[in-house]
Amino acid sequence: MSGHTHPCCKIGPSILCADLSCLADECRKMIHSGADYLHLDVMDGHFVPNLTFGHPIVKCLRPKMPDIYFDMHMMVQNPEKWVESMADAGANQYTFHVEACEDIPALCRKIQESGMRVGVGLKPGTPVETILPYSDLFDVVLIMTVEPGFGGQSFMEDMMSKVQYLRTNFPYLDIEVDGGVGPNTIDVVAEAGANMIVSGTAITGASDPSQVIALLRNSVENAIQKSQLER
């Protein structure tokens, strides 16, 4: 998995929850509010029953924000199909779902060779053990705390056992959590060991997004600091 440096806190607003009619402006607003990266949800209507956007949108956004880290959450069947297109569009991280992939090592190699970081996502019903045989191939593991593809679900706190297992066994791994994360749930996420925090409406719908981002960051950084003191 990722290199031997302690994972640092990164906050990534989910831009699907923003006003898509002025997406570039919304993305800039998130970055100016203190976001470390942008989380872009790609849904194909097959792997999940919803349809969002694809690589043309990413390609249009990239020139407007050349230095921003784009984390592509690929909720798609046949994720190997879109690797070159997303790399060409300027994506930095390609997070595929293990449930949609038949040949994990081949896909990880393809993503790495295209110059992107490798992320793997797990739906709530997928045991963390599924990915352990391939643990040296990933840079990021994304633990879903809602069922992907549906809005307005409650945060699944029982998914934190997956995060805890990964953090205990892979202390240098980037662990991302997505689904229902906001001021009311961040402490349990941070204490479990997640360091990459995806948050949607809690940030994009806030009257002051910078305040929410700062709150999320504070919780995660405190948890990281505490865990390093305990080692």
Task: Give me the catalytic one of 41, 44, 71, 174.
Answer: 41
Q: Is 178 a catalytic residue?
A: yes
E strand map for 44-192 = 70-75, 93-97, 117-122, 140-144, 174-178
E strand map for 59-139 = 70-75, 93-97, 117-122
Where residue 172 falls (left for φ over 0; alpha for ψ -120 to 50; beta otherwise) is: alpha
Give the span between the Cα atoms of 22 and 191, in whole angstroms.
35
58 in Cβ contact with 86 (< 8 Å): yes
Give the span between the Cα atoms of 94 and 75, in whole angstroms.
11
The answer to the question of whether 201 is labelled as a binding residue is yes
Q: Is 41 a catalytic residue?
A: yes
The answer to the question of whether 170 is labelled as a binding residue is no
Q: How many residues does the chain have?
A: 231
Q: Which residue has the tokens 């990281």?
A: 224
The answer to the question of whether 151 is labelled as a binding residue is yes
51 in Cβ contact with 45 (< 8 Å): yes
122 contacts: CB under 8 Å, gap ≥ 6: 97, 98, 99, 128, 130, 131, 141, 142, 143, 144, 162
The answer to the question of whether 149 is labelled as a binding residue is yes
Task: Give me the catalytic one of 36, 71, 174, 178.
Answer: 178
The answer to the question of whether 152 is labelled as a binding residue is yes
The answer to the question of whether 150 is labelled as a binding residue is yes
146 in Cβ contact with 123 (< 8 Å): no
The answer to the question of whether 41 is labelled as a binding residue is yes
Q: How far is CA 61 from the centre of its chain?
A: 18
Annotated binding site: 14, 39, 41, 73, 149-152, 178, 180, 200-201
Annotated binding site for a divalent metal cation: 39, 41, 73, 178
Annotated catalytic residues are 41, 178
Annotated binding site for substrate: 14, 73, 149-152, 180, 200-201
